[in-house]
Amino acid sequence: MSDATPSPLVLGAMMFGTTVDEATSFALLDRFVERGGVWIDTADCYAFWASADGRGGGSERVLGRWLAARPGVRARVRIATKLGAEPIEPGSWPARREGLSAAAVHDAFAGSLDRLGIDRVDLLWLHQEDRSVPIEETVEALAGLAADRFGVSNFPAWLVERGRAHARAIGATPFDALQLNASYLRPRPGTLPPGVVHRFGVLSDEQADHAAEHGMDVWAYTPLLSGAYDNPEKVIPEVYDHPGNTARLAALDAVAAETGAARGQVVLAWLLSRGLRPMLGGSKLHQLDAALDGVALQLTPRQLERLDEPDRYEWADPYAGR
């Protein structure tokens, strides 16, 4: 393993152990670390929808075997996993899933540590909200777990802050990270992009503002629209077809031409300029290399201004002069 400059890219291991075989998974993990990758993201439910038995755990098991086969690598990487979305029985998601009760949290986390073969994780995510359980109960369950940090994925901002407030009240570690879908293009209001199955799964201006105000990390999943920015065999999903994105695509094409980079690489660099940490869930080495090159791309202030221009607006105080 080399001493490459640490990369801000997150390697998403969602399909490891199901549609991505173990040899390919190991090759991707090795290349990621060789090129300075640090954060690896998985979940206890990955990938139940693609597994032979309808259950998750395959991704964590592959990661556990890779960690065991690479002595010393654990000190070089940070492991993030999620809980709360594993179906109770095969085929029962989303009606019946493990959820976020205290008992479910403790059982799920113990299972994750066993599959990963480690005694601690660097970041533990709540995968999706569970309104059948008070967030206070979940926060109290997290307080005693062997995790350095806690984050939430696919939660509304108000519920995140309610959980953070309770953690502070009991002297526990508050959530300090969000994981949401985000890209350069924005979906039409009231729609969800393909693959986003949670009501609050797409990063909103309110969630972004909440995170910035409280110094929370934001991880962006599916930032490359599953390859649609650059793969001619894939079309940009219909939810992104609106006038605002016409201007964004024009700006993206112009900056990509100036830099000589692919559109997806420019998207990754732009996300970083916004303080968002992009996640890659690819299955091929060339995709990983391209993404690592993208997050290393340095855009000029003028290029960033051009990319941001479609989102600019002038705010007028309705009470000014009264």
Contacts of the segment 281-285: beta carbons below 8 A, 24+ positions apart: 281/12, 281/13, 281/14, 281/15, 281/221, 281/222, 282/28, 282/227, 283/15, 283/19, 283/20, 283/24, 283/28, 285/27, 285/28, 285/31
Question: Strands 78-83, 39-41: parallel, antiparallel or unpaired by DSSP?
Answer: parallel
Q: How confident is the model at residue 313 (pLDDT cuts 50, 70, 90)?
A: low
Confirm whether 203 is domain-assigned.
yes
Question: 184 catalytic, yes or no?
Answer: no
Q: Catalytic pick from 46, 184, 229, 240?
A: 46
Cis bond before residue 296 (omega within 30° of 0): no
For residues 175 and 165, give the distance between their C-alpha atoms in angstroms, rounded to a whole number: 9
Of 112, 31, 115, 13, nearest to 73 (Cα)?
A: 31
- State which amino acid sits at residue 179: Q
Within a domain: 18: yes
The CATH number for 140's domain is 3.20.20.100
In a domain, 170, yes or no: yes
So what's the pLDDT on residue 18?
A: 97
Q: Could you give the residue ranges of the DSSP H alpha helices within 143-262?
A: 157-169, 205-213, 243-259
What pLDDT, on a 0 to 100 scale, did the predictor assign at position 251? 97
Q: Would 240 be classed as within a structural domain?
A: yes
How many angstroms separate the CA atoms of 155 and 174, rounded? 15
Asked if the structure places residue 3 within a domain, the reply is: no
User: In this model, does residue 13 exceed pLDDT 60?
Assistant: yes
Tell me the pLDDT band of 7, cut-offs 50, 70 and 90. Answer: very high
- Nearest in space to 215 (alpha carbons), one of 181, 164, 170, 167: 164
Average pLDDT over residues 244-265: 97
Give the closest residue to 265 by CA, choosing from 238, 229, 300, 240: 229
pLDDT for residue 305 is more than 70: yes
Residue pair 10/278 in contact by the 8 Å Cβ criterion: yes
Cβ within 8 Å of residue 152, ≥6 positions away: 125, 126, 129, 160, 163, 175, 177, 178, 179
Amino acid at 96: R
In a domain, 321, yes or no: no
241-277 as b/e, with b when 16 or more CB fall inside 10 Å? Answer: eeeebeebbebbeebbeebebbbbbbbbbbbbebebb
Q: CA 101 to CA 132: how far, in whole Å?
A: 8
Number of Cβ within a 10 Å radius of residue 6: 12
pLDDT tier, 2 (very low <50, low <70, confident <90, very high otherwise): low
For residue 78, list its beta bridge partners: 39
- What is the domain count for the chain? 1
Res. 311 pLDDT band, cuts 50 70 90: confident
Peptide linkage before 223 cis (omega within 30 of 0):
no
Does residue 5 lie in a domain region?
Answer: no
pLDDT of residue 3: 65
Burial class (CB within 10 angstroms; exposed 0-12, middle 13-18, buried 19+) of 117: middle
Range with the poorest average pLDDT among 53-57, 81-85, 264-268, 317-321: 317-321
Q: Is 60 helix (H, G, I), strand (E, B) or coil?
A: helix
Within 8 A by CB and 6+ apart from 143, the residues are 167, 170, 172, 173
Task: Give the HSE-up count for residue 90: Cα atoms under 13 Å, Cβ half-sphere.
Answer: 11
- Specify if 319 maps to a domain: no
Range of the domain at 46: 10-311
In angstroms, rounded to a whole number, what is the distance separating the alpha carbons of residues 232 and 237? 13
- Read off the pLDDT of residues 119-163 as tens digits, 9 standing for 90 and up: 999 999 999 999 999 999 999 999 999 999 999 999 999 999 999
pLDDT above 70 covers what percent of the chain? 96
Q: What is the mean pLDDT of the chain?
A: 95
* Side-chain half-sphere exposure of 72, counting CA atoms within 13 A: 4
